[in-house]
A and B are shown apart, each in its own frame.
Chain A
Amino acid sequence: MFSREKTPPPAAQPDAPRVMGERLWGGQLRVAWEAFCRLPALGKWPVRQVLLKQLYFTGIESAATIGLVGFLVGLIVITELNNLVGGNEAVTNKVMIWVVVRELAPLIAAIVMVGRSSSAFASELSTMVINGEVKSLRCMGISPLSYLIMPRVLGMMLAGIALAFYCQIVAVGTGWVVTALRHNILLRDEVFSFFETISYHEIAATVLKSAIFGALVAIVSAYHGLRSKTAMTEVPQAVSQAVIRSLLAVFMADGVITVLMY
């Protein structure tokens, strides 16, 4: 019943750069699509547990870093702005919305996620593949895409939205307080002026941006983590690829969304 014949190895395929590029983007799009198709797996408790852990790791544990960066960004932007336009609250709020709310906050949240979660996720997945843990999951009838990838993509999307919102609040709040103290303007007037200036379209665009950035970071990291095969030396390679390509993807997406929406 058991034969001793060896099957011949598959013929080597040419790896032209264009083909590799198509495979790379195609692979990431496939991971994204497969993760989206597995959303119903959220009904399973172990999958929800992974989602909650990801929200805690990416969202809660990054909050202090985001808070500090948001405060510093708010302070820097408002100091430059005050020097440029003085105590003009209308112009100050407009520039704060354009620079901080629309652009910097989602980007800062994404960059912190790349630094913390992308590297962690890629190295974890890569190690799991190499140690045979991903295969173990499949052998137990558990889809690695449902259990490992989808909840992390969703978790990073939600955490991205929350972190960007938190960064916006801290940075804009810092701006209000600094302007109020330096130019003797009522804080209440600044807040009213801000909410009169910002539009629903701008809020929707930042939420969309943050969600897309979170998803991109997760998908690119998952793709590079899953590409590892057998050697532990592949782990640092997967991590550096995940970090660099996540950053590239975030900036490219930012450019596209900004051009399309504004």
Chain B
Amino acid sequence: MAATLQFSGVNCDRIVGLSFALAAGEIRVLRAGTKEEKFAVIELAIGERIAEAGTVALNGAPLDAAPHGSLGWVPDNGGLISNLKTWENVTLPLWYHGKRRAADTEGRIAEWLARLGLEGEAAERFMASPSGLLTKLERKRAGLLRGLVLAPQVLVVDAALFDGVAQDIKAAWAAALDALVRGAEGGSVLVVAEGSAALPWTNIE
């Protein structure tokens, strides 16, 4: 299976010689020792930080050359824009990067919301709510939904997303990520964790 995301001897700040490859259709967990290291890996993987040495490549090409919207990011707290409603937050990267037409988006969002355990009126209320009024759990859900709807080639997930979340919800979210990598678009997911929190996916050694 061809590598989608590849770190080769990456040095940056606290990271020394980090190398791994993530293939299409895979979900794997990269464990960092500290929060700072975790953020450094996440920022390197989404192109927010430049490696001091080594390379980070997507499909063999540098991240700069990656098509817009091919990298997604799910932070631990949703990373929402407070003056936008939930649906505007969810569709922002999708429409900004021109990945999908408005007509397709609604059905896709409803589908992912159902997988995340939200349907009908509750889903409508959630999507219409200003993001400033969402609870911590709802913010996390909105951030995850945004990543799922974008369906990037590589979705980088902060494992702290699952902190403080009930087991059944956690299982539904993990199943949604599994569904994303099994889907027609064949993306992959890199979960970056701090410490040894239990996660249902194999670690990157």
Contact = CB atoms under 8 A, between A and B. Distances in A.
A133 interface: yes
Nearest to A132: B79
Interface in A89-142: 124, 127-128, 131-133, 135-142
Contacts of B60: none
Interface stretch (B66-74, B163-171, B181-189): B66-74
Nearest to A3: B16
A128 B79 CA distance: 11
B82 A133 contact: yes
Given A2-B37, A124-B83, A142 B14 contact: no
A7 B13 contact: yes
B82 A141 contact: no
B14 A3 contact: yes
A71 interface: no
B136 interface: no
Interface in B93-123: 93, 95-98, 102
B133 interface: no
B92 A46 contact: yes
A158 interface: no
Contact of B69 (A49, A128, A138, A141): A141
Interface residues of A, number: 26
Contacts of B130: none
B81 interface: yes
B80 A136 contact: yes
Contacts of B18: 1-2
Given A46-B96, A142-B96, A5 B14 contact: yes
Interface in A1-37: 1-5, 7
A61 B15 CA distance: 51
Contacts of A139: 43, 46, 48, 73, 75, 79
Interface in A128-171: 128, 131-133, 135-142, 147
Which residue, B13, B15, B79, B96, has most C-beta atoms of chain A within 10 A?
B96
B82 A131 contact: yes
A195 interface: no
Given A2-B33, A141-B68, A45 B95 contact: yes
- Most chain A CB inside 10 Å of its own CB: which residue of B68, B69, B72, B79: B79
A73 interface: no
B84 to A, nearest CB: 9
A124 B68 CA distance: 27
Interface residues of B, number: 36
Interface in A39-98: 44-47, 49
A141 B95 contact: no
B134 interface: no
A43 to B, nearest CB: 8
B105 to A, nearest CB: 11
A133 B34 CA distance: 23
A258 B15 CA distance: 57
A106 B178 CA distance: 58
A141 B47 contact: yes
B73 A140 contact: yes
B200 interface: no
Contacts of A5: 14
Contact of A142 (B19, B47, B93): B93
Which of B14, B17, B33, B88 has its CB near the most chain A CB atoms (within 10 A)? B14
A44 B97 CA distance: 8
A133 B14 contact: no
B76 to A, nearest CB: 11
B56 to A, nearest CB: 14
A1 to B, nearest CB: 5
Given A1-B19, A141-B93, 14 more contacts: A1-B17, A2-B16, A2-B37, A45-B95, A45-B102, A46-B88, A132-B79, A133-B79, A135-B48, A136-B80, A138-B48, A139-B73, A140-B73, A141-B69
Interface of A: 1-5, 7, 44-47, 49, 124, 127-128, 131-133, 135-142, 147
8 contacts: A2-B37, A3-B16, A47-B96, A124-B83, A136-B79, A140-B92, A142-B92, A147-B96
